[in-house]
Structure 1
């Protein structure tokens, strides 16, 4: 890694092991242009890139055609309303009601290490493993400074970008738009890859052509959302794992976002990512600062596979802070699909006893333990134990579960309030709402305005009291509805546009305080399943509930899209009951276990009622978890086949960094008649080593790494739909 400024050419060069990113200062006015991002190039050639700009169009040479320059120059961070008619990076309203802004070079600073982003999740680094460039741009007419920040990390081909805005004028300004990343580049037959979905079918991969104008995804639901994910990639060879240029972008933020690409009349592309401009307007008084969230940029010249490895390594080493990131997580059983709201202490204890006999390590008590919560119409906000269910109180239950030999975890939904709750009756104004308007209910609940100090302190106080009352070692933090009717009684009329972002900052502040007060707590985030499965939440929790759809076959597509960006160790994945509660499918218990193995692994069922044959299989599944988890947690993930594409079977691989061990998961989704064995070709093995091949713990021979990679492994036809096999490759010493 390296960052340097070539003063004679006024060029900035940012380098990772395999990539270069080049910017330069152009013209007397100091326009900052983007000239290159891709495979590593020689720094001595950097000045050559200035020839991209035709000097006859620079304003100092031809100010009569200033608009021609502004409308085609590859700006590093474009302003608005000055002659560049492409998508904008920042939009403002000044004290006179005007909206023109042009940001030009002022100064820069290069230093070792990386600063925190105040109040926001962000990648981290120290003076030995990271470097940062800050470039200050300024519009002296408006009085706004934008500080662009770029950080790189040792051994990782990624760049972390963010922007900080400073009001250096004497009057208030309004930020109406504040993108975290803008990137101008030439089109080279790229397509746009995004992740879409809905509840129970999150992060489905979609590739589309890029037409003229804007092609984008967004969320203004107050969360990153089930519908679209704060990720996009430009791909040159479709969804090839091994070929073509790929530019991947992940937003380290969990609220409203916008991500897309604008194609100009000159066939240039302008990529952008940041807070969604809908429902956003931030007032900057004189001297105020606004920090936009971080974007991770990731270039690969070797297809999606290399992009995936870079994201995984960066998130594991420079984003996830939890001590659990390097540990096996306890194998848990959650009572939600076992009992829903119909449980009491006796039922939970019965589940715990049987779970302990099977080798399960933690019991998690889900929704329904507080207030008068016997269904989902009441009691959110009343975070007091219902002793009609939890007889003798929470500590008594936890102590009994611990005595059985299990750890204890609990579910909460701290951000919500039910209209039928004691809290709402006492403080109806604590809910986000617009005065005089019938508020939109979702799941018959409202959202607490945690941007208000008294609400924030109440919510955190209840969380802390519950967790302090007993030996609770895990918390599932849920959020089951989106924001609407945006209004806060604590904000003036000139600041109502700040509510959505302030809300997200408050969520981050709550969780940051939580993990500092309870440093050994295993926190799992959830939002109606996967509506907040994003890089922002990983800063606070090492795992996120992947989807409420626990069906193993549906999870193939969900987990493929998720693992495109996020490490497998972050995916909350459980073996659930059959017929599956979401889709009604009946899937073999083994297949359910094999698919969940490529995640955090746990159970979501009533272990006292499942068939004896399934119960007898649990110890073996848990043994596999302990056997393979370090590989799953730390290894490189490779996609070998895609059920999403072929509609017949799925296969993926996790390889130890040194290539000595690998685990292939194969799922035959649809059986077929009169067929032949499939050939699966592993990747990233050591060519010269001999590998033993184990298929579901049965020895199946041995071969050199180069033979396995080129000739492949024959997988026998499995008998029936929804069948799976684990293939373990171990290098001989």
Structure 2
């Protein structure tokens, strides 16, 4: 996995650490003099990475310093002066000028085998500032991600101010400039794919919301402008609070540096004497297969983070009933859901005391006896008797102004004494950074799970933080306690599947993905809108995480009606759920839905674990996503525009060349009895079935939508 080479004059003269992932090499060297670590090589696996590496530089640095020109792995002010910085530290002096800036030296390093992988720790210290820093690396042979973080320690006897403390910086070669890919959006329009040509200067993404946010995802990919389909590097931050990513390109120097880290709401993080701060992991990977290869590498990594649980096919009652939750109506929906093959029934917002609309109830997490006159336990037992799991929506960080919780603990919400309090969605935010508030949240959630037979929990968070005020790293304490509660949920209630949500996709990040079983990408379930959201989501996040529902919602931005087949194919792209008012569906719609659910359950393992290949994008007339696992290939295809045209005009059907097939094998198209494709309005389309050669599927492709009336298809191919 890892090897170390040391030059003849000792560490300062040429120590190199070579970290090996599944298919790549990440090589770090100690700069001459031991003042910093720098990246030498990051790319395809080589038995002997080149020395000097492509990123090393020993030439002139006019009007600059050697550290500013170097591919520094972690750069404090004091070592670097002008280029991108990861650490700005100051030790204040009572009544005088403090010591600002850090000049450190390498003091040692360790390589250890841990959890089947390898961990490298490189130590630095500034004896004058009494600061220590450990640059930490973790790699594993099962994936290509390099995890990096820093541990900053205060060895002095006075507080140490950290005005900036990032997790890591990744430097990549981009001669001529960089093509930067990112994911942006807003509520109901998350994960829109964007790209920026960056030859000189800085491109910044950030969230100041106290959570990951809807406007940007903490993920980027970088390619050389001259090779947009070639080598690609990507980085993401494992943090569920405010964050920042700076991408600095220098076409003349031929490099681009991506710096990632937390963005505390305070002006600085203050370390008390003896304290050590560990930054959240910054994760990076390399792929030689462009953005598609980057996505598959992220998916492979995220599969290693998950538990051995299979998210069930859920029915969520929100779109059917809203806040009007009544036991009899919910049981009626549950019976219908069970009949079409759903596995878990989830009651969304509105089940608890004081929750008749969005102006009350948050914080008072007791079932409303008026809505469940026979008792909540009896209601849950009724759902479970149908052979269904039972799920519940909660928003533990939300507090309604007229709740009992707020009346009893007004100091538990974010507020600045003497200042007006802001409501968003008619609610405040619980200060989860307080240990007493966090303990209350755990006791409340744990109590619900122990009193009732709950197998699924949807944890929501519907507003950003305001009026946080000053304090000892309040942002960090909130996120740390949020993570601890999720980890304890997994430990103490391993049978409960946890879905993460925050007003849609507001908490989609690697840290939440490591602690939840599925994530909700968007509140927008309109089929065409959702298809664009999910395409962007799959750039950086795996399909097993992507919760998606079939609803009757037309969408917000593209409201063109789509068939039930189209809507099911969209939702089947990840963890399938249904949120439509199935009580209002006719028998034909329910029968068709039952066929789709049965088909999904037969191919769920392929969707969950298969390699993903996206064909085109949702703006094209036909868009498809392919999943390949062992002997099965699943192709989901959608006609996103109008039909090809009338029979009086020339128009060849779109073909899709499959990338996950074995050219030497033959495949037979599975006949599932009619749930392969649907025309506009829900009618079934033509199935051609038959045998296909893998080479022909790869070279000439197949026509997923031969029928002009069909707007979606699900094609399953099994190797003979």
Same fold (TM over 0.5): yes
Give runs of aligned pairs for residues 272-671 of structure 1, distance below 5 A. 272-276=259-263, 278-279=265-266, 281-317=268-304, 319-320=305-306, 322-324=307-309, 327=310, 329-487=311-469, 496=471, 498-579=473-554, 584-644=559-619, 646=620, 648-656=621-629, 658=630, 660-671=631-642
Instruction: Give 1:578 shift.
Output: 4.5
- SS of the counterpart of 1:388? coil
Question: Residues 144 and 168 of structure 1 are in contact (CA less than 8 Å); yes or no, is this contact kept in structure 2?
Answer: yes
Aligned residue number for residue 719 of structure 1: 708
CA distance in 2 between partners of 1:50 and 1:533 (Å): 32
Question: Residues 614 and 626 of structure 2 are in contact (CA less than 8 Å); yes or no, is this contact kept in structure 1?
Answer: yes
1:596-636 per-residue CA deviation (whole Å, 9 max, x = no partner) reads 11111111022111233211212101111111101111110
Instruction: Give 1:718 shift.
Output: 3.7
Out of 84, 88, 93, which is 1:87 matched to? 84
Question: Residues 416 and 447 of structure 1 are in contact (CA less than 8 Å); yes or no, is this contact kept in structure 2?
Answer: yes
Aligned residue number for residue 653 of structure 2: 677
- Extract unaligned runs of 5+ from structure 2: 9-13, 677-686
Aligned residue number for residue 19 of structure 1: 24
Instruction: Give 1:445 shift.
Output: 0.4
Distance 1:664 1:341, change over 3 A: same
1:238-259 per-residue CA deviation (whole Å, 9 max, x = no partner) reads 997xx31110112111111111
Distance 1:51 1:194, change over 3 A: closer
Aligned residue number for residue 106 of structure 1: 107
Q: Report the TM-score when normalising by structure 1.
A: 0.90
Aligned residue number for residue 667 of structure 2: 691
CA distance in 1 between partners of 2:247 and 2:406 (Å): 44
Distance 1:37 1:275, change over 3 A: same
Question: Residues 245 and 261 of structure 2 are in contact (CA less than 8 Å); yes or no, is this contact kept in structure 1?
Answer: yes
- SS of the counterpart of 2:69? coil
Aligned residue number for residue 143 of structure 1: 130
1:446-500 per-residue CA deviation (whole Å, 9 max, x = no partner) reads 001121122112222111222211111111000000011113xxxxx6xx26111
Question: Residues 174 and 223 of structure 2 are in contact (CA less than 8 Å); yes or no, is this contact kept in structure 1?
Answer: no
Aligned residue number for residue 679 of structure 2: none
- SS of the counterpart of 2:92? coil
1:285-339 per-residue CA deviation (whole Å, 9 max, x = no partner) reads 121010101121110112112211211111102x22x331xx3x32221110001
Instruction: Give 1:47 shift.
Output: 4.8
Aligned residue number for residue 4 of structure 2: 4
CA distance in 2 between partners of 1:730 and 1:709 (Å): 15
Aligned residue number for residue 717 of structure 2: 729
Report the aligned-residue RMSD.
2.2
CA distance in 1 between partners of 2:165 and 2:454 (Å): 40
Distance 1:685 1:371, change over 3 A: same
Distance 1:17 1:456, change over 3 A: closer
Instruction: Give 1:580 shift.
Output: 5.0
Instruction: Give 1:237 shift.
Output: 6.4
1:563-620 per-residue CA deviation (whole Å, 9 max, x = no partner) reads 1111111101111124458865432111111111111111102211123321121210
Question: Residues 78 and 103 of structure 1 are in contact (CA less than 8 Å); yes or no, is this contact kept in structure 2?
Answer: no
Instruction: Give 1:226 shift.
Output: 0.6
1:28 partnered with 2:4: no
CA distance in 2 between partners of 1:619 and 1:202 (Å): 30
CA distance in 2 between partners of 1:516 and 1:176 (Å): 36
CA distance in 2 between partners of 1:479 and 1:190 (Å): 36
CA distance in 1 between partners of 2:255 and 2:442 (Å): 48
Instruction: Give 1:379 shift.
Output: 1.2
1:645-666 per-residue CA deviation (whole Å, 9 max, x = no partner) reads x3x221110001x3x2101111
CA distance in 2 between partners of 1:699 and 1:669 (Å): 22
Out of 698, 704, 719, which is 1:709 matched to? 698
Question: Residues 692 and 699 of structure 1 are in contact (CA less than 8 Å); yes or no, is this contact kept in structure 2?
Answer: no
Question: Residues 569 and 713 of structure 2 are in contact (CA less than 8 Å); yes or no, is this contact kept in structure 1?
Answer: yes
Distance 1:461 1:277, change over 3 A: closer
CA distance in 1 between partners of 2:276 and 2:221 (Å): 30
1:72 partnered with 2:69: yes
- SS of the counterpart of 1:420? coil
CA distance in 2 between partners of 1:474 and 1:518 (Å): 10
Instruction: Give 1:540 shift.
Output: 1.4
CA distance in 2 between partners of 1:163 and 1:546 (Å): 30
Task: Name whichever of 424-433 and 18-27 sits farther off.
Answer: 18-27
Aligned residues: 691
Aligned residue number for residue 157 of structure 1: 144
Give runs of aligned pairs for residues 241-256 of structure 1, distance below 5 A. 243-256=229-242
CA distance in 2 between partners of 1:551 and 1:578 (Å): 5
Question: Residues 345 and 389 of structure 2 are in contact (CA less than 8 Å); yes or no, is this contact kept in structure 1?
Answer: yes
- SS of the counterpart of 1:308? helix
Instruction: Give 1:50 shift.
Output: 9.0
Distance 1:3 1:380, change over 3 A: farther
CA distance in 1 between partners of 2:450 and 2:364 (Å): 17
Distance 1:69 1:356, change over 3 A: closer
Aligned residue number for residue 118 of structure 1: none
CA distance in 1 between partners of 2:172 and 2:632 (Å): 40
